[in-house]
């Protein structure tokens, strides 16, 4: 039966990948509405022919990779279970240590290393693609350094989460999902608190904004918005990317207003002030707290569903998947598979609310700055720098876009009738 399931899974993935290929590359895509051609929202008005060609190619390849990469990860987890590799890793770990905690840490390291190696070719292709199209300026050694940091940061957090999770499952096989959910609340807040000052500096250097005149303008804008801020930070991203970005991150006294140096180098002060006003709109409208509340609620539903689905699958197909009990650490790939599927399935809903918040922040920024022209030119430059697809197809928008497509954003800030969601 295991062999039959494995072949079926491979064939299903192949058919899915082929279907997505035809959808993304041969469905015709989404053209610019006739009413918007020749307007400031039309990419042909602010991108040359070569840039338009590159944008179309790059967007299609990235969209295809997105829709294939996540199901490929599911396939990897499924095959790890099906061929008994997870069970073998647990046995090897047990042979190296009799202590449960040490045994589980060894298992997690082996599983993390295995998945990192298997997924590495796809990650490297994505990196090479961004280099080919001029988005990334990062050297291979720098990219590998970030990848190694990613591996150890993720591994450290995985060890904490998984050890606690399987301890809870061992204590209560019926209500572990509820206790796990209760613990995710303080843990998530803690991660948000330390991310700007502990995790982010592992990847890049952050320092106070050198342009003090611009900093004064930004802090003045923050004062108008009743946002307590004393400093603005810049981060050295030019050595890694040509893309532009700015953001407000963290909570409480660890919150930071951050500008990429690429943004500072390529946008005017007025455009930067609009971008900053947009980020301030998220703060004023408390989007970070609404986002946290939504995440906590979705985590509750997700853990409950995961508990039900895992219990059912192990009871019915545990022998085929080489899983004896739900509290065996070898069941972790099944947990990761189910949670990943649920997260992917829920992304259209979470993305919809994210796009709504981004649209609200755009509206707030226009009200605060009163500068629609700077908003339009800022969006146009953001589109060019990232070779963004301004009007994606429906599935791409639902599953990929946490921000409204640039066609909509430019159209709305230019004070025209809003486009239907």
Distances (CA, A) of 352 to 207, 243, 393: 34, 24, 15
248: β partners: 257
d(CA 108, CA 118): 15
Binding-site residues for Zn(2+): 278, 282, 358
Scored b (16 or more CB within 10 A) or e, 97-111 reads: eeeeeebbbbbbebb
- The values of phi and psi at residue 191, to 5°, are -65, -45
362 is catalytic: yes
Q: How far is CA 209 from the centre of its chain?
A: 27
Determine contact, residues 390/383, Cβ cutoff 8 Å.
yes
279 is catalytic: yes
d(CA 365, CA 373): 12
- The values of phi and psi at residue 268, to 5°, are -75, 165
d(CA 27, CA 60): 11
Comparing CA positions, the residue from 385, 397, 391, 381 lying closest to residue 347 is 397
Distances (CA, A) of 95 to 24, 92, 151, 227: 48, 5, 25, 56
Catalytic residue of the set 90, 215, 261, 362: 362
Comparing CA positions, the residue from 92, 131, 98, 94 lying closest to residue 113 is 92
Determine contact, residues 306/168, Cβ cutoff 8 Å.
no
Catalytic residue of the set 234, 261, 271, 279: 279
Determine contact, residues 77/336, Cβ cutoff 8 Å.
yes
Binding-site residues: 278, 282, 358
Q: Mind telling me the catalytic residues? A: 279, 362
């Amino acid at each position: 039966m295991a062999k039959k399931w494995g072949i079926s899974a491979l064939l299903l993935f192949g058919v899915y990948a082929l279907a997505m290929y035809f959808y993304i590359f041969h469905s015709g895509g989404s053209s610019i509405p006739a009413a918007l051609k020749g307007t400031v929202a039309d990419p042909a008005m602010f991108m040359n022919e070569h840039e338009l060609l590159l944008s179309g190619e790059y967007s299609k390849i990235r969209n295809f990779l997105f829709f294939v990469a996540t199901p490929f990860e599911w396939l990897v987890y499924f095959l790890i279970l099906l061929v008994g590799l997870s069970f073998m890793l647990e046995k090897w770990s047990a042979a190296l240590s009799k202590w449960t905690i040490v045994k589980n840490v060894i298992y997690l390291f082996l599983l993390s290393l295995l998945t990192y190696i298997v997924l590495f070719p796809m990650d490297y292709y994505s990196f090479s693609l961004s280099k080919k199209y001029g988005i990334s300026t990062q050297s291979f050694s720098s990219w590998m350094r970030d990848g190694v940091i990613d591996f150890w940061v993720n591994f450290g957090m995985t060890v904490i989460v998984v050890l606690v999770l399987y301890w809870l499952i061992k204590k209560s096989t019926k209500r572990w999902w509820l206790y796990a959910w209760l613990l995710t609340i303080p843990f998530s807040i803690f991660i948000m608190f330390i991310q700007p000052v502990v995790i982010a500096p592992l990847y890049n250097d952050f320092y106070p904004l050198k342009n003090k005149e611009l900093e004064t303008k930004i802090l003045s804008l923050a004062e108008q918005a009743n946002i307590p801020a004393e400093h603005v930070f810049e981060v050295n991203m030019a050595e890694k990317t040509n893309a532009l970005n700015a953001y407000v991150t963290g909570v409480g006294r660890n919150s930071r207003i951050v500008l990429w140096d690429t943004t500072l180098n390529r946008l005017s002060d007025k455009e930067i002030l609009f971008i900053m006003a947009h980020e301030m709109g998220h703060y004023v409208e408390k989007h970070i707290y609404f986002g946290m509340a939504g995440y906590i609620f979705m985590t509750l539903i997700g853990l409950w569903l995961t508990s039900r689905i895992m219990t059912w699958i192990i009871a019915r197909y545990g022998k085929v998947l080489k899983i004896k009990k739900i509290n065996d650490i070898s069941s972790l790939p099944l947990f990761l598979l189910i949670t990943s599927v649920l997260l992917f399935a829920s992304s259209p809903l979470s993305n919809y609310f994210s796009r709504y918040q981004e649209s609200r922040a755009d509206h707030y920024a226009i009200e605060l700055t009163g500068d629609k022209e700077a908003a339009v030119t800022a969006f146009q430059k953001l589109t060019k720098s990232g070779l963004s697809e301004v009007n994606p197809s429906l599935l791409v928008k639902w599953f990929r876009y946490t921000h409204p497509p640039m066609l909509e954003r430019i159209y709305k800030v230019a004070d025209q009738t809003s486009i239907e969601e």
